[in-house]
Amino acid sequence: MIKKTFKVPDMSCTNCAMKLESLEDTLEGVREINASYHKLQMTVEYDETRLTEEQIIAAVKKKGYQAIPA
Amino acid sequence: MSHKKQNQVIDPVVLLTLGILLVTIAIALGIVQSRSNAAGASSNPGTMSQIMMAFVTGLTTGGLSCLAVQGGLLASSLAHQIEQDYIEQAAQRKKPRGKKIESPPRPGAAFPILLFLIAKVVAYTLLGALLGLLGSYLTLSPLTRAILMILIGVFMLGNALRMFNVHPIFRYFSIEPPKFITRYIRRTAKGTDTFTPLFLGALTVFIPCGVTQAMMAAALGTGSLAMGAALMFAFTLGTSPVFFIVAYLTTELGSRLEKFFMRFVAAVVLILGLVTVNSGLNLMGSPLAFANLTRGLFPSASSSTSANSPRAANVPAGELVLYVENGGYFPQTLKAVANQEVTLNLVTDQTYSCARDFVIPALSYYELLPDTGTIRVSIPAQDKGTQLFFTCSMGMYTGMIIFE
């Protein structure tokens, strides 16, 4: 398990953070996601053998946001 | 995918129909009530009669009165949802060409309004239960209410500035619920922003309007947990159709502005925030409140009465008369002699607005005046040049006494 932080500059409300955290339910290999609208960032704890950084960025993009590795 | 889930929320049209249905029920209840009054039931109202009276009061006067005070919170709650809808629509439009763009139907403003109202009804029912049980212990002083109003106003201003993207610091005005709550909400509501309208709806309990306060006093008088709860439940339910219809129609009209909608909502929240802060300042008796500032800068001869004016011809020396009317206080400016005690006569005549919830902040004087009658207030001697501000408990109607 590793923890990575991404900047998400286009979050515009707390509901955006909730939407990003909902990837916990759909993205295979994710243990926990903590997203913060205040800090415009999200921290993802995931199993690197089952999920890559690129896959996370793509999943975030699907939600309508841009994730930039911090 | 998340759009599909969001669209599973109750159809706004259904909700509007429910709102109209509530109005119809209320009218029917009103007719029943008037018949029972005609039969003399009002002289000794039973439990049901009291509850129906509370419902009809909520529907007729409480709805609009509460909307004036608590509308700001509802707007904040709606702004949150509308903002989210707009962002989602914009994100859909940004999708690259070639892909079939599915235009997501707007989840609607009805859902957050409904959540707001449910939270409000629940919160007031609980308050009614507590009032019935604990008596007057929970009554908030005007100063406490003023501070709360200012805090809520600042919260709204911060949110408006956040929506205008003025500075990153304003992001902190958006409440980030704890992770365990968001997880719970996500799994039950599937991403719909339910927390904000629920939270704000419950917050309205701290800013009751004048009519609500009268009903709270009635709940206190019941001395019963169940009756206090029933009374406040019926009253708050009665206010809900007006709240719902006005808020829903306002939101639907606003959505047609689409392009400028975000800024439009931010501007509305900004104005409501300013109004709320101003009401709080009025309730504190602050000379910085808008009405007090302008009254000092542009004194209007027609709105003032001194001991020598014709209207005060029959008033004994050392006494002042203030007419407390449904539209406010007349005259708005009274003049009194400095360095001597003054008696202020507060005259009501079928006054049912919040004007009868009378406050003189500097004297910590607070009284719910009878709807018809005269209340005498002794005002201690004041120095020359003193301006004593008075207001209703909502900070809506104001006036002042100048000592000279």
Domain boundary among B284, B310, B339: B284
Question: Is residue B236 domain-shared with residue B380, that is, in the same domain?
Answer: no
Contacts of A64 in chain B (CB under 8 A): 87-88, 91, 94
d(C-alpha B35, C-alpha B41), whole Å:
9
Contact B360, B377 (CB under 8 A): yes
3-state secondary structure of B404: coil
Mean pLDDT per 10-residue segment, chain B (404 residues): 39 51 55 44 49 78 63 60 60 52 49 80 90 66 78 79 85 75 58 66 69 71 79 88 70 49 67 82 88 72 50 71 90 90 92 83 89 92 91 85 90
**CATH code (residue A44):** 3.30.70.100
Inside any domain, residue B100? no
Choose the closest CB to A37 out of B2, B94, B174.
B174
Cβ-based interface (< 8 Å): residues of B facing A: 2, 80, 83-84, 87-88, 91, 94, 171-172, 174-177, 179, 182-183, 185-187, 190-191, 193, 196
Question: Is residue B31 domain-shared with residue B83, that is, in the same domain?
Answer: yes
Total domain count for chain A? 1
What ipTM does the predicted assembly reach? 0.82
Phi and psi at residue B348, to the nearest 5°: -115, 145
Q: What is the pLDDT of residue B270?
A: 81
Q: How many CA atoms lie within 13 A of B288 on its CB side?
A: 7
Contact B374, B347 (CB under 8 A): yes
Longest CA–CA separation in chain B, Å:
86
Going by C-alpha positions, the residue among A27, A6, A20 that lies closest to residue A60 is A20
Total domain count for chain B? 2
Question: Is residue B265 domain-shared with residue B299, that is, in the same domain?
Answer: no
Contact B379, B401 (CB under 8 A): yes
Q: What is the pLDDT of residue A9?
A: 92
Choose the closest CB to B2 out of A19, A34, A37.
A19
Question: Is residue B182 domain-shared with residue B245, that is, in the same domain?
Answer: yes
**CATH code (residue B395):** 2.60.40.420
Q: Residue for token digits 């009025």?
A: B282
Choose the closest CB to B176 out of A12, A17, A24.
A17
Domain boundary among B231, B253, B284: B284
Domain span at residue A18?
2-69
A13 with B176: Cβ contact below 8 A: no
Domain boundary among B249, B284, B319: B284
Q: What is the pLDDT of residue A22?
A: 84
Inside any domain, residue B209? yes
Q: What is the pLDDT of residue B257?
A: 45
Question: Is residue B200 domain-shared with residue B260, that is, in the same domain?
Answer: yes
Domain span at residue B299?
290-403
Question: Is residue B201 domain-shared with residue B53, that is, in the same domain?
Answer: yes
Search chain B and give the residue with CA nearest A19.
B191
Inside any domain, residue B101? no
Going by their DSSP bridges, the two strands B373-379 and B333-336 should be labelled as unpaired
Inside any domain, residue B273? yes
